[in-house]
Amino acid sequence: MKTRLIAFFVTGVMLICGTLALDNALAQTKTGFIEVENLTITILTDNYYDGVRPEAAIGKRYRPTAEKSIHAEHGSSYFVEAVSGGQTSTFMFDYGVDSRGVMRNMELLGVNLQKVDAMGLSHGHWDHWGALEGILAANKGKIPPGTPFYVGEEAFLERASVRPGSSEPTNLGKLNKVAVESSGLRILEVKEPTAVMKGGYFTGGIVRVTDYEKVPTNLLVKRGDKLVVDQFQGEQALFFIVKGKGLVILVGCAHPGIINTVKHVQKITGVQKVHAVIGGFHLVGAKPEIIQKTVADFKADKLDYIVPTHCTGFEAIEAFQKEMPKQFILNTAGAKYTF
């Protein structure tokens, strides 16, 4: 009887939605992940802004006027809109540092948190959550109560770093969990690949497979009363499967390794084609041989677009531009990429 009911349901889907819809449903069953028909990623803030650069191949840049110009900072924040099955889902991913600057950008870019479906954080560094409390306070009563706030493990622990030229750690602070909860957001900790919006997924813990991507030993996390090297086991990236294009992967800082992140997404989805990778690749200060190995692995993947941001570093960005000129896009704060 159960088999007959399933067959009847599948037949009904075919009659109502057509063969294409059934093919899509079967594809979802095989991969376990929903495809999106349309995806827009808006860069709410980044380290760099240039209002007169030519448009990117996959999007548009914000054009300033005397009264309206984009704020840039050492921070990272994204707003994502995905369309799947005709339904639009929205997600805010990371929040930058300066709440006034980020909120001004949101206003200029038409981003309204009254309509956000979920929010999330890549990891517990200040340049990704610094503006969050200010944004939540300014939007009190506007963000729907119970809106999910997705984080990885150890997102609320205190961090520190040993800066160049110093032997003493600098305290980097920690995100206030009580402040997030009191704003009405519902905190959900992610350990495995998890849907955070329709068609958009957090990676869960990223498996390390490359032999050259190592977490810098100067980045520390406080466990109990001890500072230890942070392995970023809870860091999350956000990914999508865009219909007819392949994977689009959005990262915060990629401390577990940007190539590790890409390979992890390929493995868990079963999709090898990478359409675009956007975000901070954490190659600032990396040795030239590490940058070259990263570039070589990206070239081997034959992805369509690479958009390094935030903590990628000038030397690595220059290498991508030189060795992958057809795929490379120089990011600017306020840019909007559409897939």
Class of domain 34-330: alpha beta
Q: Is the pLDDT of residue 8 over 50?
A: no
Picking from 279, 327, 270, the residue whose alpha carbon sits closest to that of residue 299 is: 327
Q: Is the pLDDT of residue 232 over 50?
A: yes
Q: What is the pLDDT of residue 43?
A: 98
d(CA 247, CA 272): 8
d(CA 105, CA 230): 32
Are the C-beta atoms of residues 166 and 90 closer than 8 Å to each other?
no
Report field, pTM of the whole predicted structure over 0.75: yes
Whose tokens are 């889907």? That residue is 13
Contacts of 34 (CB under 8 A, 6+ apart): 28, 84, 85, 195, 198, 199, 241
Q: Average model confidence (pLDDT) for the chain? A: 92
Q: Over the stretch 113-128, which tens digit does the pLDDT of each residue have?
A: 998 999 999 999 999 9
* SS3 of residue 191 by DSSP: coil
pLDDT band of 11, cuts 50, 70, 90: very low
Amino acid identity of residue 273, one-letter, is: K
Rounded alpha-carbon distances, angstroms, from residue 38 to 12, 33, 90, 243: 26, 15, 12, 8
pLDDT band of 222, cuts 50, 70, 90: very high
Q: What is the pLDDT of residue 115?
A: 87
d(CA 138, CA 118): 17
Are the C-beta atoms of residues 266 and 272 closer than 8 Å to each other?
yes
Q: Over the stretch 34-53, which tens digit does the pLDDT of each residue have?
A: 999 999 999 999 999 999 99
Q: Is the pLDDT of residue 61 over 80?
A: yes
